[in-house]
Chains A and B, each alone.
Chain A
Amino acid sequence: MDCAMAENGAGSGRGTAAEAGRQDGEAVALRPHAEDAFAKELAALAAADDRPRPERWRLSPWAVATYLLGGTLADGTVITPKYVGPRRIVEVAVTTLATDRALLLLGVPGTAKTWVSEHLAAAVSGDSTLLVQGTAGTPEEAIRYGWNYARLLAHGPSRDALVPSPVMRAMAEGMTARVEELTRIPADVQDTLITILSEKTLPIPELGQEVQAVRGFNLIATANDRDRGVNELSSALRRRFNTVVLPLPATPDEEVDIVTRRVEQIGRSLDLPPAPDGMDEIRRVVTVFRELRDGLTTDGRTKLKSPSGTLSTAEAISVVTNGLALATHFGDGVLRPSDVAAGIQGAVVRDPAADRVVWQEYLESVVRERDGWKDFYRACREVSA
């Protein structure tokens, strides 16, 4: 399972999820929630799980970790891995949810933050839908509560006229709430979370009431590493979170695998023919991305400057897809260096001054010398000239 790529949209990992949903019922959602798609696994885990569970948790922390990382239960049920990555990270994340600290998942785009948060919520609370999507326009009501104005006008302020936010509902029911893209939310709105996370209450001054969080409530937020500084969390808020950074794919093979699979899926939807000899080029793109991202050549012998762009796996995918489209419509259908050269340069050179130096240094000091990369070097030189 390559769920590292499954964030923000129909990730490849959800292929299986959708299929699982299809077997269950007639009307199939385009994208079923995690708790529905993997209902069987969750049930099997709950049955096999004899470890102590924190209050209102569907599973014990150990079982939650197993759900995410995959494994085989005593009764033979195979739990598919939802997240491929270091075990320690998942353990810290699950443990955090069991304490009264909230969990902040950080990572560059395309590292499965949303995916992990959804599955954590599904496994812990059995419900991944208590979700606030953070945008530049997210209002305070989305985190606290709103009003049903018809009722408000008709009957005056009362709990009936109040429209609870997902966070408020999670507090009242002891569930896991999720906030996506926390750093996109304006700072003043972000700070409404402070009371919720430290006092565990949500005051409703209009009614002279408050909602107190019951045990089991916790919150998972995701934020983009690269967005730091967009709406940097105040240190008061930051302090309420335990931070877990989700890394990029660990090995080139893993990443090539993810890229290949996604490219295939996207290609199919764009009616592009499968590239027969594209593998080499894909590997090359992934290599270039990884080397520049890590600031180190794969043989570990030469250090490199890193450009300002993210160079995430997702971008590698789009470079290859673009190249494939070029090859199909203007070339001979085979993915060639010249098809990806422009795309790569576009992805690398974000800042025309600094990144160009980075890219040219890379070309001159690494690509030029490398065996079998002559044509790629030439293609890149052509593009950058």
Chain B
Amino acid sequence: MTERDEGEHGRARDAGERRAVGPWLLGVRHHGPGSARAVGAALAQYEPKALLIEGPPEADALVALAADEEMRPPVALLAHVTDDPGRAAFWPMAEFSPEWVALRWALRRGVPVRFIDLPAAHSLAGAEPEEPSLAAPDPGPEEPSLASPGPEAGTGPEPGPAAGDARVDPIGVLAEAAGYDDAERWWEDVVEHRGTAASGDALAPFAALAEAMGALREEGQGGQDGQEGVEGGASRDAVREAHMRLRLREARREFGDDIAVVCGAWHVPALARRTTVTADRALLKGLPKAKVSVTWVPWTHRRLSRKSGYGAGIASPGWYGHLFSSPDRPIERWLTKVAGLLREEDYAVSTAHVIEAVRLAESLVAMRGRPLAGLTETEDAVRAVLSEGSDVPASLIHDRLVVGDVLGEVPQAAPAVPLQRDIARLQRTLRLKPEAKERELELDLRKETDAARSRLLHRLRLLDIPWGAPAHSRSSTGTFRETWRLRWEPELSVRVAEAGIWGTTVLAAATARAASDAADASALAEVTALAERCLLAELPDALPVVMRVLADRAALDADVGHLAQALPALVRSVRYGDVRGTDAAALREVAVGLAERVFVGLPPACASLDAEGAAEMRTHLDATQQAVGLLCSAEGDGAPEGDAGPSGDAPSGLRERWTAVLRVLAEREAIPGLIRGRAARILVDDGRLEDGGTREDGGTRGDGGAARLMGLALSPGVPPADAAAWIEGFVGGGAGGMLLVHDERLLALVDGWLTRVPGEAFTDVLPLLRRTFSQYEPGVRRTLGELVRRGPVVAGVPGGGTAVLGRGAAGGDEEAVAPGFGPGLDRDRAAAVLPTLHALLGEGADGKDTSTGEMR
């Protein structure tokens, strides 16, 4: 309240009382369909010679585009700092926005239009992006956590009078005074639902509202102006309003008094106030300035809604659109629409249902003492009548109708989107020219530039701009290298324009896109793949969102198969993350969580499977085994290099639990032989079986040796087909043969079992066995054959008690020896090894004829 004389909002009131004393200040609620109608009526009645709209003056040149055939709301005016597209502000307009209605009216009539808000050049220059990545707009459609735009950028278009939280919430106060707990509902009742027809003068509602706002401003003014005074650099609102006043004066000089101003209701009293030009100029002095570009961009209803980042503060754009576009009987039409949607989704909804719903909505209105049914009433009615108490249709309706899927369009002629500039800028700095000719690019990710190039290409791929396609590297397969095949096709420019809706910079757009993709992904594996891509593209802000979606999906997915499928990619990501130095802690946490879920779910899921199911489950088992191995070794990295097994804390826990699960799998009867065999095999490979229950099991409990398990599985009582499956699981796969070659105990068990198989069952078992053994390499097969022909040696097996093997085979020797070896030690042959051994150990051996030193 410094140098202004205030309390003078007479002009607004005058406008209401007498006709045609301009300028007419049309205070609106941004995106209020009622306001839009009222503005339309007022413009039609008064026919101003010029129209001023709250918006960035830089956009004056773009006004004509709004009349373009191809322009379809919702669209937004986008202003961004020319060389830093991350600093941007949006002024969204929907079909039912008063600004849009006024704009179209003016363009139809050829009435000049001016935007009068503070130039974006100032407002954006003032915005210091504290975190560059976040200040960039993240219109992640469903992700509020992601979408926290820079403080200034987001409030640029001032999302409805109710949403400015820094200052008093004017509508909220009015609503509270009227006894409403919800400002939106109050506004609906008082403004949106009352036609303008009643009063005759189309300006009447604006005058009343301006008066209310005036009273409100005065009440809050003490704080408001005090703040201005104290903080020296006058409050944002004061500066904006000063600028609006100056523009208004300019317009009056040019067009006379027949001017209409469409602005937020909150500003009306300020515009009506009499102030001196010098005072206003003083307020605007010394504002920082930036070079700004402005364009139209397509917008969506979803982004108008409150949930999303650049939300315009409207919870129900679809409903507003409906209110605005339906000529009469809005409730009946709305509920018919709802019924249509439900029928499409195969809910049985009859006309009688709609009738009942309308009646209930109307009765509710009467009971609640409202003038007309609003969204609340229709929602209640839909829930009680149409959806029979279920929440599923209700949320469907909210998503598809109340918010809606409307996507705006912008004509080709609109200036380039900032994303395009950002890409061009990056291409320059990274010296990557877009060329139509295909070429290959080798990147060494340890180099800074190459890493940045790789990030750019990965991000563009996420944005569906496939400039580069990853190719298989010829030289090396290490994780430090990447090979790309680059080719810039002309249609990629179109893709860039399309991707423009995701953000103004490549980083922001890719982040938003990734978050949105994560929310839309249908399968768990898709999400893990996405996580991998996020890591490759280095989108640290998208990763938490993707991780969250991933964790949620994993928690709800009851199919262990899905979980096991998702695990390897995730674990790979953890390793990539390590390689690239990004913080993959969150990722690791999710991976460990996923592994835990697999552990819990695996034993029940393995029970009672048919042959096919068992085969599939075996691949999951292998995948999990591999993943757990990687995960533990990756975790081991944190500790000093060494055996990651027992030393580390968490990883060893994970490993122990996995071992416990495998033990269960290996021993439980109801589990198919294939899987039991496989589990036993994994245990053997990991060295977890031979020493039986080591630490936890207290030693003696079933010494769990491979031979014991195999003996159990191949006992005479077991159906041969089952036993064969066990064998397939245990020694199947390429490396299985070596196991048999080197552990003759096991070979003898197999051999012994095979000879016991009754003739009639043998033909059943044969295909299985053939499948198992045919996977071995020819050399291994031959060795096995030789071993079998030689006949097993009988051995008292150390440790596992005595096992009398190979009955009916060639008579046993007497000495107890290690399995797989002949009796006694052939000293001559053993000595032949020694020179090689010396050479390998580097003990300065004489090195003569090392090549023949190998065991033959």
- By a beta-carbon cutoff of 8 Å, the part of chain A in contact with chain B is 61-62, 65, 88, 91-92, 94-96, 98-99, 101, 104, 106, 235, 238-239, 242-245, 295, 302-305, 353-354, 356-357, 360-361, 364-365
Residues 306 to 353 of chain B near chain A (Cβ within 8 Å): 348, 350, 352-353
**Pair B556/A305 contact, Cβ less than 8 Å:** yes
Task: List, in ascending order, chain B residues with CB within 8 A of A94's CB.
Answer: 367
Report if A295-B384 is in contact (Cβ < 8 Å); known contacts: A91-B368, A99-B360, A360-B600: no
**Pair A92/B601 contact, Cβ less than 8 Å:** no
**Pair B389/A104 contact, Cβ less than 8 Å:** yes
**Pair A62/B367 contact, Cβ less than 8 Å:** yes
Report if A364-B380 is in contact (Cβ < 8 Å); known contacts: A92-B360, A303-B555: no
Q: In whole Å, how far is B810's beta carbon from the nearest beta carbon of chain A? A: 49
Report if A65-B600 is in contact (Cβ < 8 Å); known contacts: A302-B551, A365-B593: no
**Pair B604/A353 contact, Cβ less than 8 Å:** yes
10 A-B pairs with CB atoms under 8 Å apart are: A92-B364, A96-B360, A98-B367, A101-B359, A239-B353, A242-B360, A243-B385, A295-B555, A357-B604, A361-B601
Q: Which of B363, B388, B597 contacts A361 (CB 8 A)?
A: B597
Say yes or no: is B376 at the interface (Cβ < 8 Å to chain A).
Answer: yes
**Pair A91/B604 contact, Cβ less than 8 Å:** no
Return the 7 tightest CB-CB contacts between A and B, nearest first.
A243-B389, A303-B555, A242-B384, A245-B389, A303-B552, A95-B363, A243-B388
**Pair B384/A92 contact, Cβ less than 8 Å:** yes
Say yes or no: is B596 at the interface (Cβ < 8 Å to chain A).
Answer: yes
Dominant SS at the A interface? helix
Task: List, in ascending order, chain B residues with CB within 8 A of A101's CB.
Answer: 356, 359-360, 385
Report if A106-B389 is in contact (Cβ < 8 Å); known contacts: A61-B367, A95-B363, A242-B360: yes
Task: List, in ascending order, chain B residues with CB within 8 A of A244's CB.
Answer: 384, 389
**Pair B350/A302 contact, Cβ less than 8 Å:** no
- By a beta-carbon cutoff of 8 Å, the part of chain B in contact with chain A is 348, 350, 352-353, 356, 359-360, 363-364, 367-368, 376, 380-381, 383-385, 387-389, 551-552, 555-556, 558, 593, 596-597, 599-601, 604
Task: List, in ascending order, chain A residues with CB within 8 A of B348's CB.
Answer: 235
Interface contacts beyond A98-B363, A304-B555, A364-B599: sample of 5 additional A-B pairs, CB < 8 Å, sorted by A? A91-B380, A95-B360, A98-B367, A242-B384, A365-B596
Task: List, in ascending order, chain A residues with CB within 8 A of B388's CB.
Answer: 238, 243
Q: Which of B356, B552, B593 contacts A242 (CB 8 A)?
A: B356
Query: Whose C-beta in chain B lies nearest to the C-beta of A240?
Result: B356
Q: In whole Å, how far is B360's beta carbon from the nearest beta carbon of chain A? A: 6
Q: In whole Å, how far is B103's beta carbon from the nearest beta carbon of chain A? A: 38
**Pair A242/B385 contact, Cβ less than 8 Å:** yes
Q: CA A104 – CA B364 in complex, angstroms?
A: 17
Query: Whose C-beta in chain A lies nearest to the C-beta of B596?
Result: A364
Q: CA A65 – CA B359 in complex, angstroms?
A: 19
Task: List, in ascending order, chain A residues with CB within 8 A of B356's CB.
Answer: 99, 101, 242
**Pair B367/A239 contact, Cβ less than 8 Å:** no
Q: Which of A65, A243, A357, A360 contacts B367 (CB 8 A)?
A: A65
Report if A95-B353 is in contact (Cβ < 8 Å); known contacts: A245-B389, A302-B555, A364-B596: no
Q: CA A235 – CA B556 in complex, angstroms?
A: 31
Task: List, in ascending order, chain B residues with CB within 8 A of A104's CB.
Answer: 389
Q: Which of B363, B384, B558, B597 contacts A243 (CB 8 A)?
A: B384
Query: Whose C-beta in chain A lies nearest to the C-beta of B594?
Result: A365
Q: CA A364 – CA B600 in complex, angstroms?
A: 9
**Pair B364/A357 contact, Cβ less than 8 Å:** no
Q: CA A338 – CA B596 in complex, angstroms?
A: 24
**Pair B604/A305 contact, Cβ less than 8 Å:** no
**Pair B380/A88 contact, Cβ less than 8 Å:** yes
Q: In whole Å, how far is A71's beta carbon from the nearest beta carbon of chain B? A: 14
Task: List, in ascending order, chain B residues with CB within 8 A of A238's CB.
Answer: 388
Q: In whole Å, how far is B274's beta carbon from the nearest beta carbon of chain A? A: 47
Task: List, in ascending order, chain B residues with CB within 8 A of A305's CB.
Answer: 555-556, 558
Q: CA A338 – CA B558 in complex, angstroms?
A: 29
